Amino acid sequence: MEKPQLSCKLGILSRPDGSAMFCEGETTVIAGIYGPVEVKMQKVINDKASVECSYRPKSGLPGIEDRLYESLIRNICETSLMASLYPRSAILITLQEMHDSGQLISCAINAACLACLQSGIDMKFMFGAVTCFLTKEEVISLMPPISKSDVKALFVFVFDNAAGRIIASHTEGSFSEEQYKEALNLGREESKNVFIFFKKTLVGINSC
């Protein structure tokens, strides 16, 4: 099955503690992470670090639709990071959309994971995201259809690398339970490739 080409560059920014540019097909996102840093008084949590995420679209100001992505990525990072090791501090994750050809959410999540890995912050497990598309002809694929109007439904799955369990699921459009199951299995298989890619990136095989 055809699948989007993954590519990545770690540490492209000098100021953040960890940064990564991640491409999934043509979709590209830059992620930067600061942490643990000083936390705002209102957001202090006594027994763990507060994780914050801000997402910036390609043009214009972040709108209300970006809040949903922010909260999704924040929740995923909060689960995966060992936040209890850094009490009374903050971990800030910033994402900048560069180009979107359909897999924006999964690309942003993968970029966030690589930035976390590069920053050296403690994590419980890695997380990898995969986008599956259901076309109008009821075919499930990993490649985005050429025209956006051909997409009947879109699934984003986030898995952990430890047990392959589902951390997050985000769907758009309507679909049957069987289609969901099929997309989930396809996503799980593909997530293994994503984790292999992450590991290769970290040991420097994929560096461009």
Partner 1 sequence: MNLMCILYSVVPTYQPAQKSQNKVRLSQVKVFDNNFKRRNMAEEYKSLHPIKYYRDCLAHDIRPDGRAFDKFRPVLLNIGSIDTTDGSAIAKVGKTTIVCGIKAELCKPKADTPNQGFVVPNLELPPLCSPKFRPGPPSDQAQVLTQLIADIIENSKCVDPKDLCIYPDKLAWCLFIDFVCLNYDGSLIDACIIALVGALHTLTLPSVDYDPSLDNKLVNLEDRKPIPIHSTLISTTFVIFDDKIILADPTVDEENYCTGIVTIVLKGDELCCVHKPGGSPITEDDLFDCIDKSKLRSPLIQNLIKTALKQK
The residue among 26 and 172 lying less far from partner 1, judged by its C-beta, is 172
Identity at 199, one-letter amino acid code: K
Instruction: Kindly tell me which of 58 and 165 has the beta carbon lying closer to partner 1.
Output: 165
CB of 145 to partner 1, least distance (A): 17
Q: How far is the CB of 159 from partner 1 (least distance, A)?
A: 8
What residue ranges bind partner 1 (CB under 8 A)? 64-65, 67-68, 71-79, 153, 158-160, 163, 165-177, 180-181, 184
If one counts every other C-beta atom within 10 angstroms of the C-beta of residue 43, the result is 11
For 40-70, give the DSSP string. Answer: -GGG--SSSPEEEEEEE-SSS---HHHHHHH
The DSSP H or E segment spanning 18 is: strand 18-24
Q: Strand, coil or helix: what is 179?
A: helix
Minimum distance from CB of 162 to partner 1 (Å)?
Answer: 8
Residue at token pair 């209890």: 84
Beta carbon nearer to partner 1, 165 or 207: 165
Q: Would you say 175 or 197 has its CB closer to partner 1?
A: 175
